[in-house]
Chain A
Amino acid sequence: MTTDELIAALRPDDILDETYRRRREGDLARALATARSRRVLPRVRPLPLRARLALAGTVAAGLAAAVAVPAVTGTAMPAGPGGGRSAGQAGQAAEVSPGPAATPAVTLDARSLLLAGAERAAAETGAEGRYWFERTRTFEPLESGAVVAHSDESWYDGRDGRGLSNQDVVTAFADPADEAAWKEKGSPPLWPGPQRRDFSRLALKWEIGGRALTMDEVRRLPGDAGELERWLRSAHRNEGGGSFPSFVFAAARYLLSSPASPATRAATLRILAGQPGLTLERGVADPLGRTGVAVAADGGDVRLTVDESGARLLAFEYDGPDEEARGGGRSVHLPFRKGFKVAYESSGWVTAPGVRPREE
């Protein structure tokens, strides 16, 4: 490497990408709302100030660095703002040795469903390929009233990888007035376009509560429910704020979509099953229209949709108040807005970047 190349490698691209995505809408709106030398532009209605809410630790888990990656989009990664990297267990679930019943047993309550899912998850095969792959479709509510959907894929082996972010961006509006206002401005793009990022020597962290884990550490998490719960309680204490059940719900999203071992994922489902006041709703459509079962903590802001077997995470939905952005330096907490959703399309171990698990 020449000295210039060495210096070029010091540019904090992850942070630049993440900040660009996070600030773009607000910066553009703020600028365009001001008069340009003499000429006063007709403005659409003023943007509401972002609600400043102290969040009672609802969703503390977030994938810090990964953001970058696939992002980001993030660093490398593509994660969209708020996305975090996560994906479901599609790839692995597909490899499950077909159990005795192709049709899942009928279960009556959330607890039994999750326990059945745990049994099934524990029977899955472990890592085969070298790269952890995940594909998600994220739905991000924006300040302008738009909801932007984008797909992100990432491959990571603990050090090197690839992120394909912001693919198939679709912008939709719940309120026709917001849409009309947007069209009046000439339908400006509200989200960055597709991006590919190959990266190497990058330490991505899965951040759960007050803990940040490397991929190896995620894979070494306890497979015993009691031990994992003790670990989660300590991560919860480090993070501070919020009830343990709601923390578990947020953390489960990351654990179930992470490269954790089948035993750890099963333990996660068992811990979820043990939380008080679980509610269950059958026949729910996830953001991609797949039918599943929605499980929520009583009064919680987070809903997880799992498949009928209870073993595979289909979607995460946040329905609480808009969160406030916080963080800085190396780790960034991506705030959720009400209505934020992630559908876990596929994940699993593959041999190389660009390779996707066989579809089910």
Chain B
Amino acid sequence: MDDPEARFTALYDRHYRSVLGYALLRAERQAAEDVAGETFLIAWRRLDGVPEQPLPWLLGVARNLLRKHHERGRRWTTSAERLAALLPEGDVADEVSDRRMALEALSTLPEHEVEAVILASWYGLGPAEAAKVAGCSARAFSVRLHRARRRLAGALDLTRTTLQEQR
């Protein structure tokens, strides 16, 4: 595919949802859409420099844009709170739904651990790739992910038990 327009369109079609999903963890919907659009605008301008594995690069660009966005003084909301607002209503109302349990467990994690489990589970990124997005070493990322999973498993057991007791 030598045609840059076709290459860019394919990049957008393949990765737009992933970039937006990441942005939605850190910004309101409209701002997240703007960040995703801006990310691809940058990708177009620097198309020749986009690596062969473009997703970590794209997420890294989005992350930088989101940081600028936050510097403009938006109130900080946790990723878990944002996700809760995006889920179908019925799901959240359903007290024992898997999603609700997952959300409650996720809300007990610090933000950088939330990011780690999401980079691994939504995007299937390996430690080296995910570390580029998270801005740390691959080793540090592995440790972070390990801690996050352990904490999450503990929180899930607790949540499951509590919710069942409440029924």
Contact = CB atoms under 8 A, between A and B. Distances in A.
Interface of A: 1, 3-17, 19-20, 23-24, 26-28, 30-32, 34-37, 41, 65, 68, 75, 185-186, 188-189, 192, 201-205, 212, 214, 328-330
Contacts of B98: 1, 6, 9
Smallest CB-CB A-B distances: 4 pairs: A203-B90, A6-B102, A12-B86, A16-B17
A47 to B, nearest CB: 14
B3 A8 contact: no
A205 B156 CA distance: 29
B130 interface: no
B156 A6 contact: yes
| Residue from B17, B47, B118, B120 having most chain A Cβ neighbours under 10 A | B17
Contacts of A11: 21, 122
A192 B9 CA distance: 11
A20 B94 CA distance: 28
B149 A3 contact: yes
Given A36-B4, A37-B46, A203 B99 contact: no
A10 B99 contact: yes
B45 A34 contact: yes
Given A4-B120, A19-B20, A329 B102 contact: no
B97 to A, nearest CB: 6
Nearest to A328: B29
A26 B36 CA distance: 12
Contacts, number: 142
Contacts of B48: 37
Contacts of B41: 27, 30-31, 34
Identify whether the interface residues of B are mostly helix, strand, loop, or mixed.
helix
B58 interface: no
Interface in B87-103: 87-91, 93-94, 97-99, 101-103
Given A14-B88, A19-B33, 7 more contacts: A4-B149, A10-B87, A15-B24, A36-B4, A41-B5, A65-B88, A186-B6
A188 B9 contact: yes
A20 B23 CA distance: 13
B56 to A, nearest CB: 18
A188 B149 CA distance: 43
Nearest to A75: B88
A182 B119 CA distance: 37
Interface string B1-33: 001111011001100110011001000111001
Contacts of A13: 17
Given A6-B101, A10-B106, A202 B88 contact: yes
A305 to B, nearest CB: 32
A23 B36 contact: yes
B156 A329 contact: no
Contact of A4 (B13, B103, B121): B121
Contacts of B46: 37
Contacts of B29: 15, 328-329
Given A17-B17, A65-B88, A330-B89, A9 B99 contact: yes
Contact of A328 (B30, B43, B99, B156): B30
A7 B8 contact: no
Nearest to B12: A28
A326 to B, nearest CB: 11
B141 interface: no
B40 A202 contact: no
A329 B86 contact: yes
Given A6-B98, A188-B5, A24 B12 contact: yes
A17 B18 CA distance: 10
B3 A186 contact: yes
Interface string B112-124: 0000011011100
A3 B152 contact: yes
19 contacts: A3-B156, A4-B117, A6-B98, A7-B121, A7-B122, A9-B98, A10-B99, A12-B86, A16-B17, A23-B37, A24-B13, A24-B16, A27-B36, A31-B8, A65-B88, A202-B88, A205-B89, A329-B85, A329-B86
Nearest to B118: A7
Contacts of B158: none
A258 B36 CA distance: 35
B83 interface: yes
Interface string B68-85: 000000000000000101
| Residue from A19, A205, A328 having most chain B Cβ neighbours under 10 A | A19
Contacts of A188: 5-6, 9
A186 B88 CA distance: 39
